[in-house]
Copies of this chain bind each other. A is one copy, B any other.
Amino acid sequence: MVYQKALDDLSKGLPILVYDSEKREGETDLVIASQYATPDVIRRMRKDAGGYICTTVRESDAREIGLPLMQEFLARAIPEQRELFDQTDLRYDKSSPFSFTINHRDTFTGISDNDRSLTVIEFAKFISNVMPTPQKRKEFQRTFRTPGHVNLIIARDGYFAVRKGHTELTTFLAEEAGLIPSTTVVEMLSDTHSSMTRIEAQEYAESQSLTFIEGKEIIEQWANGQGNGVRCVRSAPSRSPVLLP
């Protein structure tokens, strides 16, 4: 079954391909569990996929380390330019998941495969560390700096009750696989100047022997509560903002 295969592949540190839905972006992301984002994987992401390399974090983890959604952030910094971050004309969803960008402080420029891999793997390790919130927030600032070259994107608490983007789809998979709940994702782009069609992405998956899974297959598992439940969040969507005072 493709769902179980996707979990197994992620657990083995293999990349998988996740297509969201023809009703949303209609895009396929190349996905790795963040804890396995080696320099080889980052190179593959930029060469074979070509989109924006982003690292997911659950809303609850983001809140713990003080990471806001960019929109909340903008509302606080430049309220007089509110129209700039108005997203009501987004054609595929109600909001984007971007937080800010980070580099690990031990990177050099932050952009090489080695540097981005270091940032992503250390970020995954970091969120999995259990420590008191004030200490964690302090350590976060000492370990990472912003702006950087890895885009953090926030998976909404409540998952598909709230949003059905690659951010939620892939973070849910990592969580179900019992991995650190963070994935690193990148859109598959085509030589035609568009994003890859589902057919193109499936052909790539076959040629590389990678698992290809659709959003609806993931959401079905979530709805049926068939997952193994490791650290699984199926609660109602949070109403509190991510941005912390």
Contact = CB atoms under 8 A, between A and B. Distances in A.
A194 B111 contact: no
A164 B173 CA distance: 44
A189 interface: yes
Contacts of A114: 193-194
A109 B27 contact: yes
Nearest to A46: B50
A23 to B, nearest CB: 13
A26 to B, nearest CB: 9
Given A141-B81, A146-B84, A147-B98, A195 B112 contact: yes
Given A43-B191, A149-B52, A73 B84 contact: no
Question: Taking the full assembly, how many copies of this chain does it contain?
Answer: 2
> Considering residues A98, A109, A195, which has the most beta carbons from chain B within 10 angstroms of its beta carbon?
A109
A101 interface: yes
Given A84-B141, A98-B101, A193-B114, A70 B25 contact: no
Given A73-B77, A74-B100, 14 more contacts: A46-B189, A71-B147, A73-B73, A76-B76, A77-B77, A84-B141, A86-B141, A87-B145, A89-B145, A90-B145, A109-B187, A111-B187, A111-B195, A113-B194
The 4 A-B residue pairs with the shortest CB-CB distance in the complex, in nearest-first order: A83-B141, A77-B77, A98-B147, A113-B193
Interface of A: 25, 27, 39-40, 42-43, 46-47, 50-52, 66, 68, 70-71, 73-74, 76-78, 80-81, 83-87, 89-92, 96, 98, 100-101, 105, 108-109, 111-114, 117, 137-138, 140-142, 144-147, 149, 187, 189-191, 193-195, 245
